[in-house]
Amino acid sequence: MPDEYTAVEYFKKGLSWVPVEGYVRLTPLGQQYVFHELIKQGLSADNLKALGFKPEMVDRQFLIRDLDRMVFDGVDTELMCPNCGRKGEYRNAVNPATHRKTSWDCWWRVGCPSCKTRLKHAFPTQQEAKTAWENGQLDQQPKETR
């Protein structure tokens, strides 16, 4: 490192030295390269903020990533995961009244197969589960408990 201050900053942020050749838009401390590598490893926005990256930059980069995905995958925002931005899936859940998970009386939960985020509670209809998921209310309780 050129000086002690730079070395300490690298150490505190968990960064290693990265050569300038071969990387696009590399910041002086190599943060952008490290940031994108951590995203590829599957770290969430909250994890990156906890590592010390600026919250505004993290949010902006995740929005850019989500918009890029929309361009390639189409602008389908239905069941988009609030954590990683990928498409969630409906999953059958146990009906609290009958304690069964058969196709005609099951309740519904939405989860992301990529980052394993899911709703905490199940809902009697897919629409209620979808609304809670898309509003990011993962801890929301169902309105009725048939």
Domain ranges of the chain: 4-73, 89-134
What are the per-10-residue average pLDDT scores of the chain (146 residues)? 76 58 46 70 81 82 79 68 82 85 84 87 90 86 72
Nearest residue to 129 via CA among 115, 106, 102, 110: 110
Nearest residue to 29 via CA among 38, 39, 18: 18
Per-residue pLDDT, 141: 86
Per-residue pLDDT, 55: 84
Per-residue pLDDT, 110: 92
- Between CA 88 and CA 130 the distance in angstroms is 9
Per-residue pLDDT, 19: 43
Per-residue pLDDT, 14: 65
Q: Look up tokens 């401390």; give the residue.
A: 29
